[in-house]
Amino acid sequence: MAHSVRLNLLYSTTASRPRSSSSLASNAITLFSPIPSLSLLSSLPSPKLTLRTSHFPSIKAFSTTIAEPEGIKINSIATKPIEGQKTGTSGLRKKVKVFTQENYLANWIQALFNSLPAEDYKNGLLVLGGDGRYFNREAAQIIIKIAAGNGVGKILVGKEGVLSTPAVSAVIRKRKANGGFIMSASHNPGGPEYDWGIKFNYSSGQPAPESITDKIYGNTLSISEIKVADIPDVDLSRLGVTEFRNFSVEVVDPVSDYLELLESVFDFELIKSLLSRSDFRFIFDAMHAVTGAYAKPIFVDKLGASVDSISNGVPLEDFGHGHPDPNLTYAKDLVNTMYGENGPDFGAASDGDGDRNMILGRGFFVTPSDSVAIIAANAQEAIPYFRSGIKGLARSMPTSGALDCVAEKLKLPFFEVPTGWKFFGNLMDAGKLSICGEESFGTGSDHIREKDGIWAVLAWLSIIAYRNKDKKPGEKLVSVSDVVKGYWATYGRNFFSRYDYEECESEGANKMIGYLRDLVSKSKAGEKYGSYILQFADDFMYTDPVDGSVVSKQGVRFVFTDGSRIIFRLSGTGSAGATVRVYIEQFEPDVSKHDEDAQTALKPLIDLALSVSKLKDFTGREKPTVIT
Ligand code: VG1
Ligand code: CO
């Protein structure tokens, strides 16, 4: 198709472009005059948001408008590479202040299109959603315009830009989209002073593999042009389709496709029979994050839980000043309720983007490594989706070996992958994996290609409901702790704990890992570490059994002859400094010792981990910030 090209000042195009109903306030124009930046291409939905834009410096840029006879106008905007746009364990995460720098987000989105084969997006369908955090509204408009500018045919976006991470994966799969964007920094806090993030998932709904994210990073270092469609902001508050000649945006309900999928996985009637019992009390803490949008339609409207069983159910841009990470530290209110006098029978929470879960019984915490093993051990009888069989099981390397025991007993293929969900997808696509999990409160299955917080809660409710289905009113119910203890009695208990030292000085943390790598390279089997004898020590390396790709340096581990392990990694999801994670595990077959507190049982190994790593010397930290 022939393109007519003309040069003009960016200012004149933006100033004359049509505006949506929530058009720029006149004082906002003053803010950007005389030369507005790409950030102006997003309209500002409220006076509150108008103020934020004062963070955005303006650029002096010329744009080239490419007018297509039948298509939308596309502006080419000059840009420069920005350092540091390398994705971590799960997408690109930075402070909001970093993302709102001139062209920061736009550069990354354009670099992504520059990295994908044209057939993966030209005239194709992409999904867009997020966890409702601060900056998502503006980011959605920027992403839509750049996607259109690069020739995407259609964008499916959740109402108000909201879709949980598992829902994005579900929608990509159901609508056979080419991929999708998730605007979320997941469990990281949100708000003007905190974090924002972006993830890209592929057509099977799985996080982009390292081969793609490496390419994107490479392109961020050489980028010179951003292609932006000259279209007004799209009203994301109303369901329906907006057409722009050869491009369209459809605003969809964030819940329906995802709920439909969950209804095909679980026996909702069975779960409903449990949640509507007067002798069973359930509580779900949405932590003011994205599952607030899903909790009522699913747990209350579909499954009969009472309205007051949902706490912190209103999603907020800053998660109510909270840290939306469902663990014993950051979900303290839920933990206190569950451990309080006459606590509920079942408690659960999910994180910022709805892919993590924490499961609690009355006065009882289910460690995530046990959780995935217990779901796997019970899946075939309690969850219809698995009735025809389980293809295989997998866990991330630092996750405890509980799942290994289940795989062995059920004679199932088993895989150990690096930290991060992206490594499970290939195994699922190849039909080798059904259920998997991470110690970091992530559990899921091949119903989608992301971990899934609500799925895990429904899996646990299914197990409890199945065990109690014949219990008459007044009979003692099988509790969460009964299920876990029964599991330990059969399989043994893998005592597990993770110590997080958040936001350490990077230099000390990096030196510590360097020191450990050195130690590992010189280590020999049979060496004594206190009362433990070394079986091997290494820096975990993974070869994908499906495509043969290799990743290295995935965590330093010391494995002892009794199966105990101590593991050290640096987080790849933080946005400031370095977070050190220490993972400690010890297997205990003796039932009489299963009731011991994990911290007590693991004390000798924890002390060993701290002394072997010289953690206090390198980081200056006396204590972890989070203990799981
Ligand atoms: C952490 C967890 C990891 C998880 C990742 C993304 O990564 O350890 O298991 O997959 O977060 O979870 P890291 O590199 O910080 O240890 V989420 O809920 O942020 O998408
Ligand atoms: Co998450």
pLDDT in tens, 302-356: 999 999 999 999 999 999 988 999 999 899 999 999 999 999 999 999 999 999 9
**CA of 199, closest atom in ligand 1:** 20
State residue 577's pLDDT score: 79
pLDDT for residue 298 is more than 70: yes
Q: Which of 9-18, 112-121, 298-307, 611-620 has the lowest mean pLDDT?
A: 9-18
pLDDT for residue 572 is more than 90: no
Angle between helix 480-491 and 368-382 (nearest 10): 90
State residue 68's pLDDT score: 59
The dihedral sign for the CA sequence 141, 145, 147, 148: positive
pLDDT for residue 526 is more than 70: yes
518-536 CB burial, b ≥16 within 10 A, e <16: eebeeeeeeeebeebebbe
pLDDT for residue 384 is more than 90: yes
DSSP state of 356: B
CB contact at 8 A, 458 and 263: no
Question: What confidence tier does 12 reach under pLDDT thresholds 50, 70, 90?
Answer: very low
State the ligand closest to the CA atom of 289.
2
- Whole-number Å distance, alpha carbon 90 to ligand 1 midpoint, is 7
- CB atoms within 5 A of ion ligand 2 belong to 186, 351, 353, 355-356
State residue 51's pLDDT score: 33
3-state SS string for 524-554 = CCCCEECCEEEEEEEECCEECCCCCCEECCC
User: What is the C-alpha separation between 225 and 80, in angstroms, rounded?
Assistant: 8
DSSP state of 34: S
- Which is higher by pLDDT, 28 or 482? 482
pLDDT for residue 613 is more than 70: yes
Phi/psi of residue 283, nearest 5 degrees: -140, 135
What type of residue sits at position 625?
A: T
The closest of 361, 360, 300, 349 to 322, measured between CA atoms, is 349
pLDDT for residue 62 is more than 90: no
State residue 66's pLDDT score: 58
**CA of 351, closest atom in ligand 1:** 18
DSSP state of 228: E
CB contact at 8 A, 517 and 618: no
Average pLDDT over residues 518-543: 93
- Whole-number Å distance, alpha carbon 325 to ligand 2 midpoint, is 8
Q: Which residue among the candidates 42, 186, 434, 613 is catalytic per the annotation?
A: 186
Question: What confidence tier does 252 reach under pLDDT thresholds 50, 70, 90?
Answer: very high
Q: What percent of the chain has pLDDT over 70?
A: 89
pLDDT for residue 481 is more than 70: yes
State residue 563's pLDDT score: 86
Q: What percent of the chain has pLDDT over 90?
A: 80
Question: What confidence tier does 6 reach under pLDDT thresholds 50, 70, 90?
Answer: very low
Three-state secondary structure call for residue 221: coil
Question: What confidence tier does 3 reach under pLDDT thresholds 50, 70, 90?
Answer: very low
- Which is higher by pLDDT, 187 or 29? 187
State the ligand closest to the CA atom of 89.
1
User: What is the C-alpha separation between 547 and 517, in angstroms, rounded?
Assistant: 27
State residue 147's pLDDT score: 96
Q: Which of 433-442, 495-504, 545-554, 574-583 has the lowest mean pLDDT?
A: 574-583
Question: What confidence tier does 2 reach under pLDDT thresholds 50, 70, 90?
Answer: very low
Average pLDDT over residues 83-110: 92
**CA of 574, closest atom in ligand 1:** 15
Pocket-testing residue among 86, 90, 451, ligand 1, by greatest number of atoms within 8 A of Cβ: 90
User: What is the C-alpha separation between 126 and 144, in angstroms, rounded?
Assistant: 10
State residue 64's pLDDT score: 63
Query: Prior bond to 34 cis, omega within 30?
Result: yes
State residue 214's pLDDT score: 92
pLDDT for residue 25 is more than 70: no
CB contact at 8 A, 185 and 319: no
State residue 19's pLDDT score: 33
pLDDT for residue 24 is more than 60: no
Q: Which of 14-23, 123-132, 461-470 has the lowest mean pLDDT?
A: 14-23
Known catalytic residue: 186? yes
Question: What confidence tier does 65 reach under pLDDT thresholds 50, 70, 90?
Answer: low
User: What is the C-alpha separation between 208 and 120, in angstroms, rounded?
Assistant: 13
β-partners of residue 559 are 536, 565
- Whole-number Å distance, alpha carbon 408 to ligand 2 midpoint, is 29
pLDDT in tens, 268-296: 999 999 999 999 999 999 999 999 999 99
CB contact at 8 A, 39 and 106: no
User: What is the C-alpha separation between 91 and 85, in angstroms, rounded?
Assistant: 10
Ligand 1 atom 11, closest CA: 573
Range 175-179 contact pairs with CB under 8 angstroms and sequence separation of 24 or more: 175/125, 175/127, 175/257, 176/125, 176/203, 177/124, 177/125, 177/126, 177/127, 177/203, 178/120, 178/121, 178/124, 178/125, 178/126, 178/203, 179/120, 179/121, 179/126, 179/127, 179/203, 179/208
For the purposes of burial, counting CB atoms within 10 Å of the CB of 26, is it exposed (0-12), middle (13-18) or buried (19 or more)? exposed
Q: To the nearest whole number, what is the mean pLDDT of the chain? A: 88
- Which is higher by pLDDT, 456 or 39? 456
CB contact at 8 A, 504 and 619: yes
pLDDT for residue 542 is more than 60: yes
State the ligand closest to the CA atom of 628.
1
- Whole-number Å distance, alpha carbon 267 to ligand 1 midpoint, is 30
Phi/psi of residue 472, nearest 5 degrees: -80, 155
Average pLDDT over residues 347-367: 96
